[in-house]
Structure 1
């Protein structure tokens, strides 16, 4: 199968979102001189509580700003764990300063992009904030590989909406048949690519079992294997 372009998801396909977020969550505490050890709390415990509140609050992202959502997540976590700080108003701002410059990549990303860029046009479709996604790509040193970077915040549509995929195709002036899409999410990436009849390569980074109804064109568990598919 010959493709003109390969489009990638960003988080947990090229960049490791969990590690980027972990660095920001714990780095914010360190910057604010909040010691978990002094309160007898492990990093794992703090992260578990934080993630519980964060997932709840981010469902309200149409109501609150990103700064407010992060601040609310910290407030609830610190309250539950009985940790007091006078710097609560700065936590959201500090989090984003750290997160927006985090650069943890999935294994072999730079090598894979270097090889693919010799033969294919490359692009990114990402759900997220422009202020977070673009600086993180720059921090990782991979931004120069991509002809187009389409971020949901900028166009008002998010995956799996077909509009965001069609927008990327329009920017590239290509048809779905000319593009392979690579991503780690069945709900966002696979569902969206399928709606526009774009071939999909599932980056099964955690080796999850798939139901029979899910049938990506390709399945890989290492990005290096992508080179074998499209060489």
Structure 2
């Protein structure tokens, strides 16, 4: 589908073009692990911080440390979701994740207790220094902008923090950024999705939502009436991209085969969504 759009849905327009692609006037994205490669940043910051917390960790070898970094980024015990639910502060969820990792690695005595200065302040500086967009993101978003379609972000973190993050990685031009605090509820609640569409001035049925979480992004967008697009960059990755890399959910291997077979989004009827391996696939709909 080609042409320029002013961000407002056009009554009477067809629901899809002859190729089967959905008709759309704007797009909302999840931020972490959809546009921003947060897990890579977290793993790098974790490795540097755990080595400062426990200098003896190097004796374990590279394998255990790498596995601990992956689990920390995935937040396998769900502490980030407790933060989203208001049960923990942001600092508390970070310290809880660090404690899980240190104990899992077998840190002795006091070294198994996370140092707050290291894990809250210094870790934050480190992870920010590693924030990067996925390689294709900037070019694809520019192409979406060139088509006249508005772009926004809907995220399960506070708006101010995520606006700062977006600006730091070159996405400060995105005006519509909806956080769980400003929407009044986190994804998968309908409120943040509807707030995003209101910001874009698009109808829900003609707005794409692209995210990496089946639970928070795909199910939430579908329930709110948007067109859900599931971003699965690594078929071997079991993380369910729920904010700060939180939660786990099995991902089958078919995604890798699908992405090799086609660069266009693939319909997943059993999940009620489209599936892509990178944002490059969206070019087929421009």
TM-score if structure 1 supplies the norm length?
0.83
**1:160–1:192 contact (8 Å) kept in structure 2:** yes
TM-aligned CA distance change 1:203 to 1:79, over 3 Å: closer
Structure 1 gap segments, 5+ residues each: none
**RMSD of Structure 2 on Structure 1 (CA):** 2.8
Deviation at 1:115, TM superposition (A): 1.1
* Superposition pairs of residues 96-135 of structure 1, within 5 angstroms: 96-119=124-147, 120-130=149-159, 132-135=161-164
* Superposition pairs of residues 167-182 of structure 1, within 5 angstroms: 167-182=195-210
- 1:40-63 per-residue CA deviation (whole Å, 9 max, x = no partner) reads 343214325646876343343222
Cα distance in 2 for residues equivalent to 1:194 and 1:53? 25
Cα distance in 1 for residues equivalent to 2:30 and 2:154? 5
Partner of 2:134, secondary structure, is: coil
Matched, 1:162 2:162: no
Deviation at 1:148, TM superposition (A): 0.3
**2:43–2:70 contact (8 Å) kept in structure 1:** no
- Which residue of structure 2 aligns with residue 73 of structure 1? 97
Q: How many residue pairs were aligned?
A: 227
Matched, 1:44 2:73: no
* Superposition pairs of residues 18-57 of structure 1, within 5 angstroms: 18-29=39-50, 32=52, 34-42=54-62, 43-47=65-69, 50=72, 55-57=77-79
Structure 2 gap segments, 5+ residues each: 1-15, 17-22, 236-251, 256-267
- Which residue of structure 2 aligns with residue 213 of structure 1? 270
- Which residue of structure 2 aligns with residue 225 of structure 1? 281
Cα distance in 2 for residues equivalent to 1:94 and 1:104? 18
Deviation at 1:76, TM superposition (A): 4.2
- Which residue of structure 1 aligns with residue 107 of structure 2? 82
Partner of 1:200, secondary structure, is: strand
